[in-house]
Amino acid sequence: MADSTTNLDLISASQSSKEVTANAALDAASPSTLFGRRATTTSALTWGLYGGKYRKADGSILTIANATVALTASATNYIKETDGVVSVTTAAPSGWPGPLASSAKALYAVACGASSVTSYTDYRTTGIGSGAGGSGALADGDYGDITVSGSGSALSVDSNTITYAKMQDVSSTSRVLGRKTAGAGDPEELKLSELLDFIGSAAQGDILYRGASGWERLAAGTSGQVLKTLGASANPVWSDQPFDVTSFYPGAPTASAKILRVPLARSVNFAANFSGSYAKAGAAATGSTVIDIQKNGSSVGSITFAASGSSATFTSSGGSAVSFSAGDVLGIIAPGTADATLADIGIVLAGTKQ
């Protein structure tokens, strides 16, 4: 009995036909006696074995009859079965008692004297294996999602058998699997923000855009800049916002005339030598004429019309950029001596917002 109670029909001392109950119990248990030692056919150097139903690795059923095997005198005989076929050897099989090669399973090690068995060890088990109750290891083969190899010593999961339903649940919505920890390791859950950080060193104000071959990161620009597209086949860039100051003086300016005097509503920067600026006159100058550019009444540059010229050139003090803060006054002042013919002057100073 396996426990203190049993489901088997037991024999009582007072019952009649005790052999009927005993035989019925033995018949019910007989499948587990496959390859068991059959005492009635075991004698001298002959070893008897019970037969029965054997489930092969491919799932088919093999019916095995009661049988005997011959033993070798004065040696240890190793009895094993391979897919239901029993064999005996006096050389211990590799890995005895298991796992053995070629899905073989150990049954008995039988020590023999000159004419009879002196002792034996039963290696049959009731563990997972074939219907024979072999060495306890799974027989090599494909068991659906798992393949067994190496005489039951290695198990591998078949490709494309782990479904999404069999995986660990994702902890929350809006998560993807990846790895954010440095180095190799287990997959981790990532938020979308963490995934996008893979594109480059993340910093506040950065912008992602699609480059020629993949997603790229555009680092934050400087304060006041705007994002500018360069078209469908180019990457976006940060660009300074233009801030142009224009003026027009009709007719010929008198000596020291104020061509322009205006306070600026925001901070503005003009490039060195007022690069990008233009001045043109409707009537060309007779002689070289220099118009002063002022910041709060102090000279910061000049506009020069050459003799007989109607287009001017610009210079800035020291050849440097000129910056104005909000509230500074920009002035354009005619020379102290008026030119005889220079007239209808249009000026645009090209600046950028700060």
- Whether the pLDDT of residue 1 is over 80: the answer is no
By the 10 Å C-beta count (0-12 exposed, 13-18 middle, 19+ buried), 339 is classed as buried
Question: Quick one: average pLDDT of 223-238?
Answer: 92
Q: Are 32 and 133 in contact (CB under 8 A)?
A: yes
Report d(CA 106, CA 96) in Å as an integer. Answer: 7
Closest listed residue to residue 29, CA positions, set 126, 137, 128, 130:
126
337 and 274 within one domain: yes
Strand partners, 324: 268
Is pLDDT of 281 > 70? yes
Question: DSSP assignment of 132-148, as one string?
Answer: T--SSSPPSEE-SSEEE
Whether 289 maps to a domain, the answer reads yes
CB contact at 8 A, 89 and 106: no
Please check whether residue 299 lies inside any domain of the structure: yes
Tell whether 152 is covered by a domain.
Answer: no
Taking only the tens place, the pLDDT of each residue in 234-244 is 999 999 899 99
Tally of domains within the chain: 3
Whole domain around residue 271: which residue ranges? 242-353
Q: Is the pLDDT of residue 136 over 80?
A: no
Please say if the pLDDT value at position 106 is more than 70.
Answer: yes
Q: Comparing C-alpha atoms, which of 171, 179, 80, 87 is closest to residue 130? A: 80
Choose the final residue of a domain: 57, 90, 122: 122
Residues 254, 337, single domain; the answer is: yes
Same domain, 300 and 207: no
- Of the candidate ranges 56-60, 181-185, 217-221, 233-237, the one whose mean pLDDT is the lowest: 56-60
Which stretch of 192-196, 253-257, 290-294, 333-337 has the lowest confidence by average pLDDT?
A: 192-196
Rounded-to-integer distance, Cα 67 and Cα 35, Å: 9
Tell me which DSSP letter residue 306 carries.
P
Tell me: do 247 and 234 sit in the same domain: no
